[in-house]
Amino acid sequence: MATTGQDVPEVQAAAAPRRHERFDRLLVAATACPPLKTAVVHPCDEAALEAALEAARLGLIDPVLVGPRARIEAAAKALGADIGTQRLVDAPHSHAAAAQAVALAQAGEVEALMKGSLHTDELMAEVVRREGGLRTDRRLSHCFVMDVPNHAAPLIVTDAAINIAPTLEEKRDIVQNAVDLARALGIAPVRVAIVSAMETVTPKVPSTLDAAALCKMADRGQITGALVDGPLALDNAIDLGAARMKRIASPVAGRADVLVVPDLEAGNMLAKSLTFLADADAAGIVLGARVPIILTSRADSRPTRLASCAIATLFAAARREARARPEV
């Protein structure tokens, strides 16, 4: 490369600031709701505790800190945070913290759980315990609510974290959980795409048979509150141009709000592809238990952590409203 004989400093274009318009809208909506009484399970590192305290400052949650008192207080001291006004339930270790948090939910003292600095498996083992857990008749499932640049609305991907190879019956619950969440987030109508590798039904690809059956379940009222179509390939589920090119006549194709994947592997790869290749942010929540469960990780950004809390707050508010509504 030719030079002028002088050292030329390398010039790099400044990265455009990340924007979170869809998450910002959810935060605004959630702050209009009462703070969600939330057991924060084992918030023993700075990231976990800071996320809970910031969500509390914004009025999203009213945290109950559950875990070893000395470690939580040490994390607060490292942050320079005052937790003197927060309720703190002392538990000797992470397993005990998960059990205590589940007990608080059973007693009606909290309306949600939030994962702190413990493994997801530790928390979920207490949630799904047959005796003393938080199981319901509904299958538990995970939803990623994704803020994808250049996509107008939040995009829900399910299930990418809980159910490895769900059966048709389990997929029905996975779909219904996602529909209930979408409605709580103000999405109407809710358009659900049952995603496969193709948009035609073929016995050689079992997920297309499940997709067709789920659509019929929706027709017969076994899934309610949404428009459901599938099988749809990813391109014609979210892109109108692709749907038109394939001549797919559907109220869902090209404008899906919810993407229901065939299995955990597909969902995990889809969510991570959107995150790392499309610059998306992914908030996470587990539904189907007696209370919503906010799942965050150490790698989550600040907007993602807050969005996860906002989503749980909106979901809980919608559920309270539904319970208070007189039956017709």
Nearest residue to 234 via CA among 222, 248, 219: 248
Query: What 8-state DSSP symbol labels residue 9?
Result: -
Query: Could you write out the DSSP letters of every residue in 109-143?
Result: S-SEEEE-SS-HHHHHHHHT-TTTS---SSPPEEE
User: pLDDT tier at 137 (50, 70, 90 boundaries)?
Assistant: very high
User: Is pLDDT of 134 > 90?
Assistant: yes
Q: Which residues contact 5 (CB under 8 A, 6 or more apart)?
A: none
Average pLDDT score over residue span 69-78: 96
Contact 154, 145 (CB under 8 A): yes
Task: Indicate whether 17 pLDDT > 90.
Answer: no
User: Positive or negative CA dihedral for 175, 165, 294, 277?
Assistant: negative
- The predicted pLDDT at position 22 comes to 86
Q: What domains sit in the chain, N to C, each tagged with a CATH number? A: 33-135 (3.40.50.10950), 136-288 (3.40.718.10)
Q: What is the pTM of this model?
A: 0.90
